[in-house]
């Protein structure tokens, strides 16, 4: 049983999804979703422990050995990302009961959970597989279900947002499959480990750089790196709250995982960063993303949209760490994958609580909410301070490593810019603080506004407390991230 | 109870106090007496640590380790203990004063006010006993955030605007420069612990360390070195007890204390004295001393004038750190205490005038001395201490500072100190002179005594008494500061 964990990790949610669609009963579907997401988390934790102890796990699907059969390969990085995805999934599904019931409507609840589980299994599949084409298949599974999930938003603009995402996402996926196809033509292999051996042996030719370019653009579209980010703000702003919390914390993270996998494992550090000079491309783009998106976030009136732009800036931080291609930089990037997932998860879930009571997340309508919904806003503040990077929150640890990475490379202006953009985060979070705590509540607008129900509060606070815990005791996350970084760099060199 | 437990307790007590204050918010009398009690307990507990330090025990606790090398740790060293003693003692006095002030002024949200006040003291205790730069930074930021509701206490648009300026300057300097300097230090030295003779000597070139010290001096925005001083006058919109304890003692002294700590225990005095940028920085700080005094002249609002006087006086201590010799550091450390007692007396007096007569401008205070002789008497004592003449404590710290400038071979800076004393003589003594010797506007004599409520008077009496007491008995302060060099 334990030896089959890598495949079960994908199969459990993948089989639970049609089950949800078949039962057609909202509550039952929810129970199935919760059970399978918790089992996924448990399995991810087991895998994480195994990988930490014994190193990478390899699993041959159907008993066919690689490179003929499909290989599932889980190393330190995959195990780390598995934890992120399943953790957020396990927290969001219990939360969905109340939130989705209100925002999506009971008639479509069962279908919602089916799509949700499909999305989860697709994301997990990308992470566990060691086969290039398999990545594309799972990418499509997760993306298609994500489009459906976003379109379920109550606001009719969710439909156009989802459509926009569909178009951009399909372009990205097509680019990726073109890149994979070129690699296959040149090497005759789809197995990542195999490719890593075959590619450097090829005589110099133009196809490989072209494949590299297609894959880079495709993946960057998926992870919403500036300037390929246009689909993201609307998709996050109009999706149902639970979906935003889940997608924001996992989908872009898994896309970044793909980037790491392709560039470090398949192409290798030498090809990606010395021959293709990826660092020189990613560094300025991530800096622009961090700076411009933080700036845009300051001027948003819809808090959910503000956080969406903040996500774009945070993705910039992660890519920035990666662009240093040093041990510290990579550790910072991978660490921030996790930290940003729990931070944004808790923030979007707190906003879901506000949505549940107020039917709005406009800053204007949230005035004085600190007194009405103290626990919800408390969780929001924990997440917000963590986003800024206040000491003893998870965000501080990421920033610490990131700035270390910049200083190691001698990039002083970058280190200064990272800190300056933290100040911009202070500004946009402080706008919420002032409105929520230092303004009076408008009683005429909604006089029976009280604290959100426990079913929403508990999951929200679970993530908020994790933000605090991993700011106070970060040994688990930092050791996981630095092991993953060390693995990536060793494989590449 | 072991000394390390006492040390943890000191940092925790104010937070417990904040909790108790919040819980007893419905009963003002209970709340305020609890507040005073907590302050007294805190001061008593801090005093417990003096004896072991004298005997040479080193007390150190590591509370938790965030990730390898970044720890939250506390330790006792003379400078920090001295600062903690001053702050916790003055918390009692201010607590007393605040009761009289807040009640007779009928301020709203008093529970939030007292609770935030307690947290601010907790932050101050954390800073004074922090054993490494990370811990110091964490408490420094806590102090910034928890004083924001105090600054914006009145909730008016003016207060909110001032609050934004306050937060903006303090956070941007601390995150933009100080944090960067801290991470850089970590990168160079591989540790952030405060160690005797510093951790940076020999780790990098003179140029790199020269840049680093500049980042520290300006990054510690709470020290209000120009051009990052604007937050301090802005913070004067707060109720007077806040201006008195936080913006003349706790918050601003946390700033200069941080710079002293960095100078002594991160750079090490010998390394610091040799840096290329140190002489330049000394003169930049000297410019703040003079400019602060000059701006104080132009302010008619009493609290604003005191704020600029504070800016000028804080730079004395920053200068002491940059002079980097034993005399200067002793003078700087003593000045933390001396200026605290003197300036708090001045703010108390300003608040008492406001409570009794609702006057804020110096030009309106003509002849008021006959009506409020005790208040203006206390003001006079406080002014003498700031100017640095007997019979007030400020004379001693100025003396050592002067010795420090000569030791460093910077006679020019001695002249700056003297000039600044002269300036403060004029802008501070103008107030009691107007109050006592001019006749009130409108010609008619004010009849009878109309002082502030008795808790305010008592607090003023204690602080001005201490100011004079410290002139007669400065030995305690001197001994504590000596221990920095001969533990």
- Average confidence (pLDDT) over B478-484: 83
Query: How many Cβ atoms from other residues are within 10 Å of residue B474's Cβ?
Result: 20
Residues in A touching B72 (Cβ below 8 Å): 392
**Element housing A57 (H / E):** strand A57-60
Residue contact B180–A471, C-beta within 8 A = no
Across the interface, of A397, A422, A430, the residue whose CB is closest to B67 is A397
- Average confidence (pLDDT) over B459-465: 87
The tokens for B166 are: 């306050």
pLDDT of A492 higher than 70: no
What's the confidence (pLDDT) of residue A493? 40
Which residue on chain A is closest to B136 by alpha carbon?
A: A391
Whether B285 and B190 share a structural domain: no
Across the interface, of A423, A426, A471, the residue whose CB is closest to B66 is A471
Q: What is the DSSP letter of B447?
A: -
Whether B442 and B300 share a structural domain: yes
What's the confidence (pLDDT) of residue A140? 93
**Element housing A36 (H / E):** helix A26-54
Which residue on chain A is closest to B155 by alpha carbon?
A: A438
Looking at the complex, does the CB of residue B436 fall below 8 Å from at least one CB of chain A?
A: no
Whether B188 and B326 share a structural domain: no
Answer whether A223's CB lies under 8 Å from A255's CB.
yes
Residues in chain B: 487
Query: How many Cβ atoms from other residues are within 10 Å of residue A317's Cβ?
Result: 26
Query: B138-189 pLDDT, tens per residue?
Result: 999 999 888 888 888 877 888 888 888 888 898 889 888 899 999 899 888 8
Q: In this prediction, what percent of chain A has a pLDDT beyond 90?
A: 45
Choose from A400, A427, A470 for mutation: most chain B CBs within 10 A: A400
Residue contact A438–B155, C-beta within 8 A = yes
Whether B139 and B175 share a structural domain: yes
Contacts of A384 (CB under 8 A, 6+ apart): A347, A429, A432, A433
Across the interface, of B72, B137, B176, the residue whose CB is closest to A419 is B176
Give the helix ranges, DSSP H, for A324-368. 327-358
B269 assigned to some structural domain? no
Whose tokens are 């995805």? That residue is A85
Helix, strand, coil percentages, rounded to 5, for chain B: 75, 5, 20
Helix, strand, coil percentages, rounded to 5, for chain A: 80, 5, 15
Whether B242 and B287 share a structural domain: no
pLDDT of B441 higher than 70: no
- Average confidence (pLDDT) over B351-380: 82
Query: B35-85 pLDDT, tens per residue?
Result: 888 888 888 888 888 888 888 777 788 888 887 778 888 888 888 888 999
**Element housing A195 (H / E):** helix A192-201
Contacts of A325 (CB under 8 A, 6+ apart): A269, A272, A273, A278, A279, A489
Vertex B333: Cα angle to B202 and B3 (nearest 5): 85
Q: Please tell me the distance in Å from B138's CA to the nearest CA on chain A.
A: 6
Alpha-carbon distance A299 to A306, whole Å? 8
Q: Within the 183-212 window of chain B, which residues sit less than 8 Å (CB to CB) from chain A?
A: 183-184, 186-187
What's the confidence (pLDDT) of residue A434? 86
- Average confidence (pLDDT) over A344-363: 89
B476 assigned to some structural domain? yes
pLDDT of A42 higher than 90: yes
Whether B216 and B342 share a structural domain: no
Answer whether B341's CB lies under 8 Å from B426's CB.
no
What's the confidence (pLDDT) of residue A439? 78
Tell me if residue A138 falls in helix, strand or coil. helix
Whose tokens are 């101050």? That residue is B124
Residue B443 banded pLDDT, cuts 50, 70, 90 = low
Domain edge (last residue) among B223, B254, B285:
B254
Residue A446 banded pLDDT, cuts 50, 70, 90 = low
pLDDT of A475 higher than 50: yes
Q: Please tell me the distance in Å from A10's CA to the nearest CA on chain B.
A: 33
- Average confidence (pLDDT) over B434-443: 72
Which residue on chain B is closest to A434 by alpha carbon?
A: B160
- Name the domain count of chain B: 2
Residue A312 banded pLDDT, cuts 50, 70, 90 = very high
pLDDT of B129 higher than 80: yes
Vertex B443: Cα angle to B437 and B446 (nearest 5): 65
Answer whether A208's CB lies under 8 Å from A199's CB.
yes
Residues in A touching B67 (Cβ below 8 Å): 397, 400, 474-475, 478
What's the confidence (pLDDT) of residue B116? 87
pLDDT of A491 higher than 60: no
Whether B318 and B464 share a structural domain: yes
What's the confidence (pLDDT) of residue A294? 92
Answer whether B337's CB lies under 8 Å from B79's CB.
no
Distance of CA B336 to the CA centre of its chain: 7
- Domain of B415 in residue numbering reads as 277-487
Q: In this prediction, what percent of chain B has a pLDDT beyond 70?
A: 98
Which residue on chain B is closest to A408 by alpha carbon?
A: B187
Query: A213-272 pLDDT, tens per residue?
Result: 999 999 999 988 888 888 899 888 888 989 999 999 999 999 999 999 998 888 888 888
The tokens for B402 are: 């002067």
Choose from B133, B166, B183 for mutation: most chain A CBs within 10 A: B183
Dihedral pair phi/psi, residue A305, rounded to 5°:
-65, -40
Residue B445 banded pLDDT, cuts 50, 70, 90 = low
What's the confidence (pLDDT) of residue B257? 92
Q: Over the Cα atoms of chain A, what is R_g?
A: 21
**Element housing A60 (H / E):** strand A57-60
Whether B218 and B301 share a structural domain: no
Tell me if residue A484 falls in helix, strand or coil. helix
pLDDT of A311 higher than 90: yes
B268 assigned to some structural domain? no
Alpha-carbon distance A471 to A380, whole Å? 16
- Average confidence (pLDDT) over A367-396: 88
Domain ranges of chain A: 277-493
B261 assigned to some structural domain? no
B180 assigned to some structural domain? yes
Identify the contact set of chain A against chain B, taking CB-CB distances under 8 A: 389-392, 397, 400, 403-404, 407-408, 415-416, 419-420, 422-423, 426, 430, 434, 438, 471-475, 478
Domain edge (last residue) among B219, B239, B254:
B254
Which residue on chain A is closest to B140 by alpha carbon?
A: A391
Neighbour-count burial of A107, counting CB atoms closer than 10 A to its CB (0-12 exposed, 13-18 middle, 19+ buried): exposed
Answer whether A256's CB lies under 8 Å from A349's CB.
no
Q: Over the Cα atoms of chain B, what is R_g?
A: 21
Alpha-carbon distance B208 to B222, whole Å? 24
Q: Indicate if the alpha-carbon torsion angle B216, B219, B222, B226 is positive or negative.
A: positive
Whether B286 and B346 share a structural domain: yes
Contacts of A3 (CB under 8 A, 6+ apart): A59
Q: How many CB pairs under 8 A join A and B?
A: 60
- Average confidence (pLDDT) over A468-491: 86
Alpha-carbon distance A362 to A304, whole Å? 8
Alpha-carbon distance B193 to B71, whole Å? 9
Specify the higher pLDDT residue, A98 or B104.
A98
What's the confidence (pLDDT) of residue A444? 66
Whose tokens are 């073109």? That residue is A178
Residue B4 banded pLDDT, cuts 50, 70, 90 = confident
Residues in B touching A404 (Cβ below 8 Å): 183, 186-187
Whether B250 and B319 share a structural domain: no
Q: Please tell me the distance in Å from B450's CA to the nearest CA on chain A.
A: 37
Which residue on chain B is closest to A477 by alpha carbon?
A: B67
ipTM exceeding the 0.90 mark = no
Query: A154-190 pLDDT, tens per residue?
Result: 888 889 999 999 999 999 999 999 999 999 998 888 8
Residue contact B184–A407, C-beta within 8 A = yes
Alpha-carbon distance A487 to A313, whole Å? 27
Across the interface, of A423, A438, A478, the residue whose CB is closest to B67 is A478
If you average pLDDT over every residue of chain B, what do you get? Answer: 85
Least confident interval from A120-129, A231-240, B238-247? B238-247
Residue contact A438–B68, C-beta within 8 A = no
Whether B208 and B328 share a structural domain: no
What's the confidence (pLDDT) of residue A141? 93
Q: Please tell me the distance in Å from B473's CA to the nearest CA on chain A.
A: 41
- Average confidence (pLDDT) over A373-401: 90
What's the confidence (pLDDT) of residue A253? 92
Contacts of A354 (CB under 8 A, 6+ apart): A303, A360, A361, A366, A369, A373, A376, A452
- Average confidence (pLDDT) over A444-469: 84
CA distances from B7 to B45, B84, B277 (A): 9, 11, 37
Residue contact A473–B65, C-beta within 8 A = yes
Point out which residues pair with B65 in neighbouring strands. Answer: B71
Beta strand ranges found along B36-76 (DSSP E): 60-67, 70-75
The tokens for B164 are: 């934004």
Residue contact B167–A419, C-beta within 8 A = no
Across the interface, of B141, B152, B172, the residue whose CB is closest to A390 is B141
Whether B325 and B225 share a structural domain: no
Q: Please tell me the distance in Å from A362's CA to the nearest CA on chain B.
A: 21
Whose tokens are 């943890």? That residue is B8
Looking at the complex, does the CB of residue B70 fall below 8 Å from at least one CB of chain A?
A: yes
Residue A82 banded pLDDT, cuts 50, 70, 90 = very high
Looking at the complex, does the CB of residue B140 fall below 8 Å from at least one CB of chain A?
A: no
Query: DSSP string of A320-333?
Result: HHHHT-SHHHHHHH
Vertex A148: Cα angle to A145 and A152 (nearest 5): 140
Answer whether B221's CB lies under 8 Å from B174's CB.
yes
**Element housing A385 (H / E):** helix A374-388
Find the Cα–Cα–Cα–Cα dihedral A300, A301, A304, A306, rounded to 10°: 20
B263 assigned to some structural domain? no
Alpha-carbon distance B420 to B426, whole Å? 10
B272 assigned to some structural domain? no
**Element housing A59 (H / E):** strand A57-60
Looking at the complex, does the CB of residue B68 fall below 8 Å from at least one CB of chain A?
A: yes
Alpha-carbon distance B224 to B169, whole Å? 10
Residue contact B187–A404, C-beta within 8 A = yes
Alpha-carbon distance A161 to A165, whole Å? 6
If you average pLDDT over every residue of chain A, what do you get? Answer: 88
What's the confidence (pLDDT) of residue A316? 93
Q: In this prediction, what percent of chain B has a pLDDT beyond 90?
A: 10
B264 assigned to some structural domain? no
| Beta strands at B70-75 and A57-60: parallel, antiparallel or unpaired | unpaired
Residue A289 banded pLDDT, cuts 50, 70, 90 = very high
């Amino acid at each position: 049983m334990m030896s089959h964990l890598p495949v079960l990790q994908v199969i459990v949610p993948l089989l639970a999804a049609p089950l949800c669609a078949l039962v057609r009963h909202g509550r039952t579907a929810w129970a199935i979703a919760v059970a399978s997401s918790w089992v996924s988390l448990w399995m991810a934790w087991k895998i994480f422990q195994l990988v930490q102890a014994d190193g990478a796990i390899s699993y041959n699907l159907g008993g066919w050995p690689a490179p003929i059969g499909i290989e599932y390969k889980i190393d330190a990085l995959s195990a780390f990302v598995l934890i992120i995805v399943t953790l957020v999934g396990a927290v969001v599904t219990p939360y969905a009961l109340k939130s989705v019931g209100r925002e999506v409507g009971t008639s479509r609840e069962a279908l919602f959970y089916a799509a949700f589980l499909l999305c989860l299994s697709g994301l997990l599949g990308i992470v566990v597989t060691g086969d290039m084409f398999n990545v594309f298949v799972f990418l499509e599974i997760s993306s298609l279900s994500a489009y459906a999930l976003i379109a379920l938003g109550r606001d009719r603009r969710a439909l156009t947002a989802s459509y926009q995402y569909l178009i951009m996402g399909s372009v990205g996926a097509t680019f990726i499959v073109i890149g994979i196809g070129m690699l296959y033509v040149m090497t005759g292999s789809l197995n990542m480990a195999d490719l890593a051996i075959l590619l450097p042996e090829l005589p110099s030719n133009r196809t490989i750089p072209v494949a590299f370019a297609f894959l880079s653009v495709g993946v960057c579209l998926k992870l919403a790196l500036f300037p390929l980010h246009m689909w993201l703000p609307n998709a996050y702003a109009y999706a149902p709250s639970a979906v935003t919390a889940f997608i924001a914390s996992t989908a872009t993270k898994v896309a970044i995982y793909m980037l790491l996998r392709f560039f470090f494992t398949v192409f290798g550090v030498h090809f990606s960063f010395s021959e293709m000079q990826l660092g020189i491309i990613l560094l300025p783009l991530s800096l622009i993303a961090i700076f411009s998106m933080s700036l845009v976030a300051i001027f948003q009136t819809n808090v959910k949209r503000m956080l969406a732009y903040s996500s774009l800036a945070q993705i910039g931080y992660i890519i920035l760490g990666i662009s240093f291609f040093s041990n510290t930089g990579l550790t910072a990037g991978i660490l921030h994958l996790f930290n940003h997932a729990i931070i944004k998860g808790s923030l979007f879930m707190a906003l879901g609580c506000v949505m549940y009571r107020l039917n709005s997340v406009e800053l204007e309508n949230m005035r004085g909410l600190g007194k009405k919904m103290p626990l919800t806003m408390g969780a929001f503040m924990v997440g917000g301070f963590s986003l800024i990077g206040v000491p003893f929150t998870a965000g501080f640890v990421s920033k610490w490593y990131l700035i270390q990475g910049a200083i190691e490379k001698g990039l002083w202006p970058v280190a200064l810019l990272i800190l300056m953009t933290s100040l911009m985060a202070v500004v946009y979070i402080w706008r919420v603080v002032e409105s929520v705590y230092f303004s009076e509540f408008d009683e005429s607008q909604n006089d029976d506004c009280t604290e959100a129900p426990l079913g929403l509060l508990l999951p929200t606070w679970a993530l908020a407390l994790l933000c605090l815990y991993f700011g106070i005791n970060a040994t688990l996350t930092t050791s996981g991230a630095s092991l993953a970084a060390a693995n990536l760099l060793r494989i590449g060199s | 109870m072991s000394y390390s437990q006492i040390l943890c307790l000191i940092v925790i007590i104010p937070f417990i106090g904040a909790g108790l204050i919040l819980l007893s918010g419905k009963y003002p009398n209970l709340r305020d007496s609890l507040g005073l009690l907590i302050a007294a307990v805190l001061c008593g507990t801090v005093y417990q640590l003096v004896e072991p330090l004298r005997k040479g025990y080193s007390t150190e606790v590591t509370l938790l380790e965030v990730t390898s090398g970044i720890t939250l740790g506390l330790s006792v060293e003379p400078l920090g203990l001295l600062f903690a003693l001053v702050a916790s003692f003055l918390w009692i006095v201010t607590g007393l004063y605040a009761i009289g002030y807040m009640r007779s002024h009928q301020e709203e949200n008093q529970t939030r006010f007292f609770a935030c006040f307690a947290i601010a003291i907790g932050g101050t205790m954390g800073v004074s006993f922090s054993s490494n730069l990370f811990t110091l930074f964490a408490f420094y930021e806590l102090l910034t955030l928890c004083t924001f509701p105090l600054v914006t206490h009145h909730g008016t648009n003016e207060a909110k605007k001032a609050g934004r300026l306050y937060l903006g300057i303090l956070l941007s300097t601390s995150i933009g420069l100080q944090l960067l300097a801290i991470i850089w230090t970590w990168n160079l030295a591989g540790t952030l612990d405060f160690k005797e003779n510093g951790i940076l000597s020999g780790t990098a070139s003179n140029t790199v360390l020269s840049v680093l010290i500049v980042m520290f001096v300006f990054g510690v925005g709470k020290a209000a070195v120009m051009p990052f001083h604007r937050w301090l006058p802005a913070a004067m919109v707060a109720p007077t007890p806040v201006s008195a304890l936080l913006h003349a003692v706790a918050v601003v002294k946390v700033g200069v204390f941080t710079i002293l700590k960095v100078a002594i225990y991160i750079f090490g005095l010998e390394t610091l004295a040799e840096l290329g940028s140190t002489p330049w920085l000394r003169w930049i700080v000297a410019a703040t001393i003079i400019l602060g005094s000059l701006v104080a002249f132009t302010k008619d609002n009493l609290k604003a004038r005191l704020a600029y006087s504070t800016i000028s006086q804080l730079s004395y201590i920053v200068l002491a750190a940059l002079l980097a010799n034993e005399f200067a550091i002793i003078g700087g450390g003593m000045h933390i205490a001396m200026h605290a007692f003197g300036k708090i007396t001045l703010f108390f007096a300003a608040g008492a005038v406001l409570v009794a007569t609702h006057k804020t401008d110096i030009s309106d205070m003509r002849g008021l001395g006959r009506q409020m002789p005790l208040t203006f008497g206390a003001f006079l004592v406080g002014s003498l201490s700031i100017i640095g003449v007997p019979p007030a404590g400020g004379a001693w710290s100025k003396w050592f500072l002067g010795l420090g400038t000569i030791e460093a071979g910077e006679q020019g800076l001695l002249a700056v100190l003297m000039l600044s004393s002269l300036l403060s003589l004029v802008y501070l003594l103008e107030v009691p002179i107007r109050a006592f010797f001019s006749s009130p506007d409108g010609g008619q004599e004010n009849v009878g005594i109309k002082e502030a409520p008795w808790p305010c008077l008592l607090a003023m009496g204690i602080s001005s008494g201490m100011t004079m007491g410290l002139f007669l008995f400065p030995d305690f302060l001197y001994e504590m500061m000596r221990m920095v060099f001969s533990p």
